[in-house]
Amino acid sequence: MKKFLFFFLFTVSLFAQNHSTTGPKNGSLLIAGGSYMGEEIVSKFVELAGGKNANIVVIPTAGGREEYDDNSGFTKQLRAFGATNVVMLHTYDKNIADSDSFIKPLLRATGVWFSGGRQWRLVDAYADTKTEAALSEVLKNGGVIGGTSAGATIQGSYLARGDTKTNQIMMGDHEKGFGYIKNIAIDQHVLARNRQFDMFAILKNRPELLGIGIDESTAIVVKQNTFEVIGKSNVLIYDGTFWSRDQNDIQNPPETEHIFYFLQHGDRYNLKKRKVITD
């Protein structure tokens, strides 16, 4: 009986550990919900990278173009903000992504930014290559990885909207992200595109995941197992509980599998405990 109890408790403990939502041990993440990013989000990313003289790499691959102007998109916005060492890194060829010459800019980078588009393109280009390994090293060395829209979703372990046919399919033919946060699915543009109920399509099949939806012009800053909301709109939390800013229990809460709540600028959240930080 004692052996059975020990085995049962060990199995439960192992299951809990394997399904715990955790952020990076080192470094930071800046995960933005899409559309225009105001000065607050840009300045926070530059700050986390080490300031305006930091070595920053912008990866626009999710956008789907064959070539990119080196002074366009977020690269241009960073330079306009005053960042002096910004380079663009892009390929669709896995052989190139797996080469030592391609990853040289990442070896000295303290900040990396994934631009928007379709997140599966990032997987097809960089997953299981030296580029993906070098990206993880940026975090391990204390740098920041940021991204918006597709560049937000790719940072989770589960790749929401990863289908190559359409971004309206929540569980598609690509389901694995880069996993900078474990056991999480991240959606974007949620309120601007009326997507607030779409996350349930994933959680119905993968209930162990934490769901997070980030609206446009809004971001979360992740350090280890906590994040803070910055920006103009809301972050939606799908953790199976209800939380209210006035601390009152909702009178008629929906069923657990259909419940979510909102966080705003300055709110903080514990990923591992799946709980709003109120102190």
Integer Cα distance of 277 and 262 in angstroms: 13
Which CB contacts under 8 angstroms, 24+ apart, belong to 191-195?
Answer: 191/215, 191/216, 191/233, 191/234, 191/236, 192/34, 192/35, 192/216, 192/233
Print the domain residue range for 244. Answer: 26-277
Q: CB–CB of 235/262 below 8 Å?
A: yes
Structure-token pair, residue 241: 């509980």
Residue 20 forms part of a structural domain: no
Residue 18 forms part of a structural domain: no
Closest CA to 143 of 25, 37, 4: 25
Please list, in sequence order, all residues whose beta carbon lies within 8 angstroms of the beta carbon of residue 110, skipping any fewer than 6 positions away: 49, 50, 54, 55, 56, 138, 141, 142, 143, 144
Q: Characterize 62-85 residue by residue with b for buried, 16 or more Cβ atoms within 10 angstroms of its Cβ, and e for exposed.
A: bbeeeebeeeebbbebbbeeebeb
Please list, in sequence order, all residues whose beta carbon lies within 8 angstroms of the beta carbon of residue 140, skipping any fewer than 6 positions away: 25, 26, 27
Integer Cα distance of 180 and 143 in angstroms: 13
Global pTM? Answer: 0.91
Counting the structural domains of the chain, the total is: 1
pLDDT score, position 5: 40
Residue 36 forms part of a structural domain: yes
Q: What are phi and psi of 167, to 5 degrees?
A: -85, 5
Closest CA to 161 of 199, 203, 127, 192: 199
pLDDT score, position 73: 92
Residue 228 forms part of a structural domain: yes
Residue 253 forms part of a structural domain: yes
Residue 233 forms part of a structural domain: yes
CATH number at 62 reads 3.40.50.880
Residue 196 forms part of a structural domain: yes
Query: How far is CA 38 from its chain centroid?
Result: 18
Low-confidence ranges of the chain (pLDDT < 50): 2, 4-17
Residue 21 forms part of a structural domain: no
Residue type at 69? D
Structure-token pair, residue 218: 């809004």
Q: Token pair 């995960």 is at which residue?
A: 31
